[in-house]
Structure 1
Amino acid sequence: MKTIEKKQTITFRKISAFLLIIVAGIFASCEGPVGPPGMPGEDGYNFVGTTFEFTGDFTPGNNYQMFFNFEDNGFDPYESDVILAYILWTNEDGLDFWRPLPQTEYFPSGAILEYNFDFTGDIPNERIVDMSVFLGGDVDLASLSTDYTLDQTFRVVVVPSDFISLADVNANDLNSILNSSNIQLKSLGAIEPGSFIDTSLEIK
């Protein structure tokens, strides 16, 4: 009897080992492809954006409008990106105060001056081609003091749309964007207006 029991025990162990191999093979075959990497943690950045700054004049010669061509400057934002533009409104005690565009100035006469911006989207290619800042409103632009037209400085920030919707930032506050821990901003530096014939701006 002991010999038979020993043989039965050996047979049972062989069957168990065989079943374990089959089960392991089934689980291995059910394993899918590796998923995409998760979002960076607190020590990393979730988003990458681009910022640049330029100073220029609004004149009759450029139809009170300044342009920036992205492709000509080696910058290719997606059509889904968000463009935020700010004007340097004043400088007090060495501190710059930026206001988001559009920005409106009201005159005692009741006339209105508006600093505004727009951009051109190439939807089929999912790219943004260029942008411009311009003067508008019902005021006679030719009658404006040079305080409103010359040496006007703008800061432009281009960020992914998800950054605005997911990050805890206030798009109306430039510092909220610049100081966000969720984005790394690549700076193109200061640029200066180029030819208004080809509507491009050149990086310094």
Structure 2
Amino acid sequence: MKKIIPFLMLAFVSVFTVSCDNDDDVQYVDNDTYAGVIEITRNFQYNTAEDVYFINQSISMEPSDMALVYRLKDGSSNGDVWEQIPRTLYFSGGRELDYDFDFTQKDVQILAGGNYDISTTPTYLNNQTFRIVLVPAGFLNKGAKPPVDYSDYNAVIKYYNINDSKVTKY
């Protein structure tokens, strides 16, 4: 009996020293979730009931995904200059024009407002071009520093491997 006890102890200890690990050889690749870009060029419409200028764009995204919106500030031979919104533009006389947005799974609404009658500056309301970048939740690192500077459109496009030449335009 005394000779069997060491073997039983060895068997008992080996159960706890040899166990499963978390290193799987198979890696899951999610091929149906990807980042994308939509470009819209529109005039803002005025909603008299809410006293706000707006542009609506239909989209389709998951509830946990994120939308980023950029406004075309300038285009040149060196490339387009995109600025992230929300954004405030400052003019003489203390006037301010604000671009903002909100989004749901089904649409993005871009808003324009200010501390003056913004219809007096139609350059900032008519023929405006925006890019909406849809970022799937799988790319988001919750609770940590963002993996990319979201205010830099080009850095976002590069980080998420978005082909900037194949933007869906509306």
State the TM-score, normalized to the length of structure 1.
0.59
Give 1:69-88 correspondences, 5 Å limit: 69-70=58-59, 75=60, 77-88=61-72
Q: Distance in 2 between matches of 1:68 and 1:51?
A: 12
Unaligned ranges ≥5, structure 2: 1-18
Query: What is the aligned residue count?
Result: 142
Q: Distance in 2 between matches of 1:85 and 1:37?
A: 36
Letter in 2 for 1:91: G
Structure 1 match to 2:16: none
Among 80, 92, 99, which residue is 1:108 paired with? 92
Q: Distance in 1 between matches of 2:132 and 2:162?
A: 11
Give 1:153-192 correspondences, 5 Å limit: 153-165=129-141, 168-180=147-159, 183-185=160-162, 189-191=168-170
Among 135, 142, 150, which residue is 2:119 paired with? 142
Q: Distance in 2 between matches of 1:37 and 1:88?
A: 43
Unaligned ranges ≥5, structure 1: 1-29, 121-127, 192-204
* Cα deviations by residue, 1:4-36 (Å, 9 ceiling, x for unpaired): xxxxxxxxxxxxxxxxxxxxxxxxxx98xxx69
> Would the alpha carbon gap of residues 188 and 92 (structure 1) be closer, same or farther in structure 2, given more than 3 Å must change?
closer
User: Any idea what SS the aligned residue of 1:139 has?
Assistant: coil
User: Any idea what SS the aligned residue of 1:38 has?
Assistant: coil
* Cα deviations by residue, 1:154-181 (Å, 9 ceiling, x for unpaired): 001011234243773211111111112x
> Would the alpha carbon gap of residues 36 and 61 (structure 1) be closer, same or farther in structure 2, given more than 3 Å must change?
farther
Give 1:3-18 correspondences, 5 Å limit: none
Instruction: Confirm or deny: 8 A CA contact 2:47 2:54 kept in the other structure.
Output: no
More helix, by proportion:
1
Instruction: Confirm or deny: 8 A CA contact 2:68 2:134 kept in the other structure.
Output: yes
Q: What's the CA shift for 1:118?
A: 0.6
Identity fraction in percent? 27
Q: Distance in 2 between matches of 1:175 and 1:184?
A: 10
Instruction: Confirm or deny: 8 A CA contact 1:69 1:129 kept in the other structure.
Output: yes
Question: Which is higher, the Rg of structure 1 or of structure 2?
Answer: 1
Among 84, 90, 113, which residue is 2:74 paired with? 90
Letter in 1 for 2:119: A
> Would the alpha carbon gap of residues 84 and 37 (structure 1) be closer, same or farther in structure 2, given more than 3 Å must change?
farther
RMSD: 3.2
State the TM-score, normalized to the length of structure 2.
0.69
Q: What's the CA shift for 1:80?
A: 0.8
Q: What's the CA shift for 1:93?
A: 3.1
User: Any idea what SS the aligned residue of 2:155 has?
Assistant: helix
Q: What's the CA shift for 1:137?
A: 2.4
Letter in 2 for 1:153: T
Q: Distance in 1 between matches of 2:119 and 2:25?
A: 56
* Cα deviations by residue, 1:182-202 (Å, 9 ceiling, x for unpaired): x344756111xxxxxxxxxxx
Among 40, 43, 60, which residue is 1:57 paired with? 43
